[in-house]
Amino acid sequence: MFVYVGTLLHATASNALEVLLGKALGVNNGKIIFIEDEKELPALQQQYDIGHDQVHRLGEREFLIPGFVDTHVHASQYANAGTGLDLPLLEWLPRYTFPLEATFSDVTFATAAYRKAVTRLLKNGTTSACYFATIHTEGSLRLCDVIEEVGQRAFVGKVCMDQNAPDYYIESSAQSLADTETFVQNVLSRKNALVQPVVTPRFAVSTTFNLMTRLAEVADKHNILVQSHLSETRGECKLIGDMYPDAEHYTDVYKRAGLLSGKTVMAHCNYLSDGEVAIIKTTNTGVAHCPNSNISVQSGLCDVRRLLDNGIKVGLGTDVSGGYNPSMLDAIRYAVQTSNILSVNKDDSYTKLDYREAFRLATLGGSQVLGIEDRVGNFVIGKEFDALRVNPCVSNSPFDIFDKDTTEDTFQKFIYLGDDRNVTEVFVAGKRVLPK
Ligand code: GUN
Ligand code: FE
């Protein structure tokens, strides 16, 4: 049991940035048990028998925010982050990405590489992540081990690809299906509620229709998430059109395979027609908006406003290493800048995404996409305490605060200019996982 006293900022359904000043937030058994005005603290300490050493007072400029939720990230590709960004997706995959992922057949290398990736995300405040691993079952399980070791909350997928891939990095349909079942059962048997398996057909280009339908059955049987990529680049959309001349559109391919539901996360969704948007909505599929990746590998600009206006669940993803930055602060910035760019060619009625709304997507929105909004995403009594302690005034802070700055200014500076140096503590399910 412990209490934090000070400033809290978070997003709610009705308020993208709620600023709560002078609060006492109590955590017991990993869950938030009260959020009261600071003046109630003595009474709360009595009621819950809380000693002075269990009460932590935030400094004047410090605040707590919910941990970030990265809804789409390739843990295996972290080794390439910041390199190989000169080619569009369908050339980038065989040139840089498949060769790297293939090396994850070496379990020792894989474990070390995954440890670096997961640790880097956690340092940057990502308390929940939805990961792609590689096609290798052993390596994918080592990713789960590493996540358990560092104490992050995560969904992990063994990647499935049985066509349009190089000889050195491809599976048979039967092997892919059997390995997925093995992987899923292993992860579920750990009974660690923080780490869950996710069924992961790479995308319709590299996963056969037959395998996709069988994978949908696996996800149904175990009642677990599905993740893939949808409508990321024009080239890919054209290819899907050629591969599936009878399908209505790209989204229709996944729908017919039975892959779209309220437990599905589709990354990108840059080129959806109105008909596709309607299907994403009616199937309650979630979208992982990956703005850094969209620009870095020249895929397109996703109009998130259109998705939100249609009532679609949207979270943010770093999509490392199509996106070069593993920090969700960067994803927030790119989401805002993408919206700003799109707005240039829209009329005045277009509502841009501001930093508050992008922050909501990075926290509460992501939790909705991953189906964990009843557990995390913001500060609500009964939810688990996944949180970041932010100190804008650390000695090596990358930005400066002035006397004139309000709490909201300070938060906004952190969003635009802050980094992991400002994230001084990270909590997952009430446990402080950083610093160790
Ligand atoms: N589409 C299929 N595979 C990938 C991948 O690894 N990264 C991105 N950004 N898009 C993909
Ligand atoms: Fe991706």
Predicted pLDDT at 179? 98
Distance from the CA of 151 to the center of ligand 1, in angstroms? 27
Higher pLDDT residue, 436 or 292?
292
Predicted pLDDT at 247? 98
User: Which of the listed residues 92, 161, 270, 319 should we mutate to test ligand 1's pocket, taking the one with most ligand atoms within 8 A of CB?
Assistant: 319
Q: Which ligand has its closest atom nearest to the C-alpha of 169?
A: 1
Q: Which ligand has its closest atom nearest to the C-alpha of 202?
A: 1
Check: CB of residue 142 under 8 Å from CB of residue 111: yes
Distance from the CA of 300 to the center of ligand 2, in angstroms? 14
pTM to 2 decimal places: 0.99
Interval 208-220 mean pLDDT: 98
Q: Is the CB of 386 under 6 A from ligand 1?
A: no
Q: Which positions ≥6 away from 375 have C-beta within 8 Å? A: 367, 383, 384
- Neighbouring CB atoms inside 10 A of 112's CB total 14
Interval 292-317 mean pLDDT: 98
pLDDT, one tens digit per residue, over 68-121 is 999 999 999 999 999 999 999 999 999 999 999 999 999 999 999 999 999 999
Distances (CA, A) of 282 to 16, 255, 269: 25, 11, 15
Predicted pLDDT at 30? 98
Predicted pLDDT at 18? 98
Interval 124-146 mean pLDDT: 99
Containing H/E element for 63?
strand 63-66
Atom of ligand 1 nearest to the CA of 322: 9
**Cα angle value 41/43/49 (rounded, 5°):** 95
Strand partners, 252: none
Predicted pLDDT at 184? 98
Give me the half-sphere count of Cα atoms (radius 13 Å) on the Cβ side of residue 171: 23
Q: Residue 257: which pLDDT band, with cuts at 50, 70 and 90?
A: very high
Distance from the CA of 131 to the center of ligand 2, in angstroms? 9
Q: Which positions ≥6 away from 24 have C-beta within 8 Å? A: 3, 4, 5, 34, 35, 36, 37, 38, 40, 41, 44
> d(Cα 342, Cα 382) in Å, to the nearest integer?
39
Q: Is the CB of 161 under 6 A from ligand 1?
A: no
For 340-368, give the DSSP string: HHHHHTS-TT-----HHHHHHIIIIIHHH
pLDDT, one tens digit per residue, over 142-154 is 999 999 999 999 9
**How many residues appear in the chain?**
436
Residue 384 amino acid letter: E
> d(Cα 73, Cα 200) in Å, to the nearest integer?
12
> d(Cα 417, Cα 333) in Å, to the nearest integer?
10
**What mean pLDDT value characterizes the chain?**
98
Q: Is 85 helix (H, G, I), strand (E, B) or coil?
A: coil
Predicted pLDDT at 188? 98
Interval 287-302 mean pLDDT: 98
Residue 142 amino acid letter: R
